[in-house]
Structures are given as C-alpha cells and as structure tokens.
Amino acid sequence: MAENQIAHQFTAYAQWRKALFDSISEYQHWLTEQELIDSQIEKHIQHILEKLRDDKLNVAFVAEFSRGKSELINAIFFADYGQRMLPSSAGRTTMCPTELLYDAALPTSLRLLPIETRLLDATTSEYKRRPEEWTIFEFNIKDNETMQETFKQVSRTKRVSVEDAERYGLYDPNSADDAMNLNADGSIDIPCWRYAVINFPHPLLEQGLVIFDTPGLNAIGTEPELTLNMLPNAHAVLFILAADTGVTKSEIDVWRQFISGVRFKQKGRFAVLNKIDGLWDELKQDAEIEKEIVKQVESSASLLGLDTQHIFPVSAQKGLLARINGDEKLLTQSRLPLLEKALSEELMLSKKDIVRSNTQGEIEELINNARTILAARTLGLGDQLEELKGLRGKNEDVIAHMMSKVKTDKESFDKGLQQFQALRSIFSQQANQLLTLLGMEVLKEQVKTTRATMLSANFTKTSEMPWMCSLLKLKIV
Ligand SMILES: Nc1nc2c(ncn2[C@@H]2O[C@H](COP(=O)(O)OP(=O)(O)OP(=O)(O)O)[C@@H](O)[C@H]2O)c(=O)[nH]1
Ligand SMILES: [Mg+2]
C-alpha cells in the first residue's frame, strides 16, 4: 500500500542512520584500543553520536484554516488507526500549533501550554524546558475513543474580553479581520492553549519523525517561533491549498514571506492542492475532470511561482476513507500515493545527503587527526628500527671482537699451561736433586767424615776438646 512508501523509505533511512551510528561507535572503540583517543576527541565523537541518535525529520503542514491539514496528516500517517485521529471538521479546528512526536522518556500524552503564557516573554522552546508549566493529559493508544476525545483539546477555545485578547497579542484593534471575529457582546474567542505536543508511540514517530500541524495562517504571524524556527528548519513543508477556493492573496503572502522566499530552503517545499474530489462531477467525463485539475494546478503554480511538478492535487478525505476501507481504486483516485512518493523520495534523499555530509565532515576531521598521530608514530617507530639495526651491527662487531680476544687469550693460556707444566717437571727434578743432596743419610755421612777428620787432627787435642766432642755427638745423634 502507498502508505508503506513513506514508512518503508523512512524505516530504511532509520536503519542506515543506525548502521552509521554503529560504525562510528566501533571506530571510537578502535581508537580507544589503539590509545588514539583523548577526552576532547571522545567528547567530539559523543556529540556526533548524540546528534545521530536525536536526529529528527521535521515535516510541517501549513495552510489557511480548513484546507485539510489535519485530514492530510490523518490520511498519510494515522489511517491504520481506522478513524480520524486528529480532529478535522468544517471551520476552525486546530487552534494551536500541534507537534506530534515520540519521546520514550515521557508518558504517552498530550501536553498543552496555556495561552496565558503569552503574557510572559518566554518562547515555546523555553517553555519546553519547564514541564511544570504544561497541562498533561495521558491516554492509552489502544483506547481510540478516549484518545480522540483527548485530542479535541487542540480545538478548545475560550471567550475573553477584547482587552485580554489584546494583552495576549491575539487582537489588533486596527485589523479589520480581527474586528470581524468579535462576538455580538464585544468579546472574542481565543485558543485555550498556546502550543500542544502529542507524545505518541507511532512507528514512524519512534524513528524520529516529527509532524507539525499548524492552525490557520493568521496564527503563523502571532507565534514568531513558527516563522523564525519551525518553518525554516523543517525538512519538508507541505503548503496546502484547496481546489474549491483557489489561491487567496493571504496564501500567496504567507507562501512568499515564510516558506518559499530566497532565504528559505527550496528543497522539500511542496504545494498540495487538496479537495480535488470537489471536482469529481458525475455528470462530467474523466477527461474533463482531469482538464479541470490541470487548469487549477497551472494557475496555482503561476501564482506561487512554482513548477507544476511541485504541486500535488489530492483528496485527503477520500485518501483517508480509502485506506480505512481498504479501497485501492479510491486510493488511486485520491492521488495521495503520488504525493507520498514524491515526499518520501525527495525528503529521505535530501535528509540522507545532509546527515551524510555533516557526519562525513566531522568524522573526516577525526580520521585525519588519528592519521597524523599514526604517521608520527610510524615515523618514531622507523627511527627506533634504524637505531636497533645500527645496534645490531654493533653487537655483532663487539661479539666477533670478543670472540677473537677470547681465542687469543685461550691460546696464550694454553701456551702458558704448557710452559708451566714443563717448568714444574724441571722444578720437581731440581727439588729431588736438592733433597738428595740435603738428605739425612748424606748429612750423617758428612758429619761422620768431619768428626773422624777432626779427631784425627793433631793440633785440636786441647783442654776444650771434651765439650766439643760432646757437642758433636749431641748434634749428630
Ligand atoms: N471534500 C473534501 N473535504 C475535505 C478534504 N480534506 C479535508 N476536508 C474537510 O475539510 C474540513 C477541514 O479539514 P481540516 O483537516 O480540519 O482542515 P485544517 O486545515 O486542519 O483546518 P484548521 O485546523 O481549522 O486550520 C473538514 O471537514 C474535512 O473533512 C478533501 O480532500 N475533500
Ligand atoms: Mg486542523
């Protein structure tokens, strides 16, 4: 079914973004392993990852009241719920800008910012950071009736005096249009709420789609945040016209002033010519009806300064009905699938391009950084390698030198040993000879000979002889 075109493309985009997220996480892991990360790089990567995780696709629906914005949102995104989810009826219905998104951290609910907050200077974005200021209605998505009843809050108005309305910035005494809105008693009906946020676990919203439903054109001027922030930053703006009213002057003004001026993005800006079923006249031939639609498209294109290819004639109401009843013929007739095809193709492709080029730019910076560190490391390692190579040569020289030295030393030691052994044998021979010469036997013989010689000598026989003889005896014995 055609609804799947947007759902399918958006899911594919969400998967692509998830894969990108995983690759960057892996890269961060690798950088940590390689010790290439410091706190600054880590913060930078966290920032890129958070941006990817919080990546939103904002689609805004803008038009004069009762052109069928809410009906178109119901037909494109909420037909599966089997009925009108957002209130859509004749006359003014959506009274405050309504944002549809999903934030898992918050309950499934409708949050409403009271209109009285307009008395203070804070913007709606600032109020988003002050949850206590919002009135919250929780609901169960399985209970369609209560859910629809809850959503009716966005249509609620209240009657106030002109002075109060003026204080809220919702009444201009010089405006003829505002004067026409006065009640008979001089009071005026103003919206109860300034802003609404529907937190809804719809599969596309869960993947980051954010839909803005806006009230009629005069509300655009009263909430500057719409014109200064929401519309310029929306990835797609669908400007809805009605085939039965043609293009009015105020529509041309708003289109030029807030949506399609030179200072705005040109991509993702579509004009939708709604309610073409009003031209389906059973008394007319199909060709005649087609001619009528082409004529309307051409005149709208020339008034808005758009190419006819960017104007999509549809019937939101019949598209919604066809989807609820599973009527494929009526769905084709409503031409809703053609709008969805263009929306999903242009939107997803340009969104993917933006996210890709932004992420690529930031990651390239980190990769270049890591490359510089790695190059410096390689250079350092090269130097170390060279040094080691030099040392390796040196070691070889030293070892060779030492080896030859040891060899020489050993040779001289061996030679010395030989000499020592030779000397030792000579020494022992000499010692033996000496011992032989000095032996006791030899000495005794010598003493004996000497004594005999002395005793036989003539001139030594004196009075001293007796003690000498006893001395000789003593020593010898
Ligand atoms: N015939 C016909 N009626 C439609 C179509 N789309 C919306 N309508 C009717 O037009 C009326 C206004 O539709 P809404 O969706 O409330 O219009 P809106 O632009 O949201 O209007 P506000 O919320 O008041 O700004 C409702 O009664 C819808 O049923 C369509 O394609 N064909
Ligand atoms: Mg509406």
Give the Å distance between the CA of 226 and the centre of ligand 2.
16
| Ligand 1 center to 315 CA (angstroms) | 10
Structure confidence at residue 459 (pLDDT) = 66
Tell whether ligand 1 has an atom less than 6 A from the beta carbon of residue 184. no
What is the CA(247)–ligand 2 centre distance, in A?
18
What's the confidence (pLDDT) of residue 144?
85
pLDDT at position 315? 97
Among candidates 236, 256, 274, which has minimal Cα distance to 69?
A: 274
Q: In degrees rounded to 5, what are phi and psi of residue 63?
A: -175, 165
Query: What is the DSSP secondary structure assignment for residue 459, as one 8-state letter?
Result: T
What is the model's pLDDT at position 167? Answer: 92
| Nearest ligand 1 atom to alpha carbon 315 | 31
Cα distance between residue 357 and residue 272, in whole Å: 30
Question: Which of 74, 83, 93 is the best mutation target for the ligand 1 pocket, counting ligand atoms within 8 Å of the beta carbon and taking the most?
Answer: 93
Question: From the CA of 449, how far away is ligand 1's center (Å)?
Answer: 164
Q: Give the pLDDT confidence score for residue 151 in this predicted structure.
A: 93
Low-confidence ranges of the chain (pLDDT < 50): 1-3, 475-477
Q: Are 192 and 114 in contact (CB under 8 A)?
A: yes
Ligand 2 centroid–CA 32 distance in Å is 51
Does ligand 1 come within 6 angstroms of the Cβ of 71?
Answer: yes
* pLDDT on residue 476: 46
Identify the pLDDT of residue 194: 94
Distance 171 CA to ligand 1 centre (A): 25
Which residue is closest in CA terms to ligand 1's atom 23? 94
Q: What is the DSSP letter of 35?
A: T
**Which ligand sits nearest to residue 274's alpha carbon?**
1
67 within ligand 1 shell (Cβ under 6 A): yes
Contacts of 154 (CB under 8 A, 6+ apart): 86, 87, 94, 95, 96, 98, 110, 112, 193, 196
Residue 355: per-residue pLDDT:
87
Q: Please report the pLDDT score of residue 430 as a whole number.
A: 84
Q: How far is the CA of 258 from the centre of ligand 2 (A)?
A: 19
Burial readout 110-119 (b: 16 or more C-beta within 10 A, e: otherwise) = bbbbebebbe
Q: Is 90 in the pocket of ligand 1 (CB under 6 A)?
A: yes
Q: Cβ(81) to ligand 1 under 6 A?
A: no
Select from 431, 418, 340 the least CA-distant residue to 72.
340
274 lines ligand 1 (CB under 6 A): yes
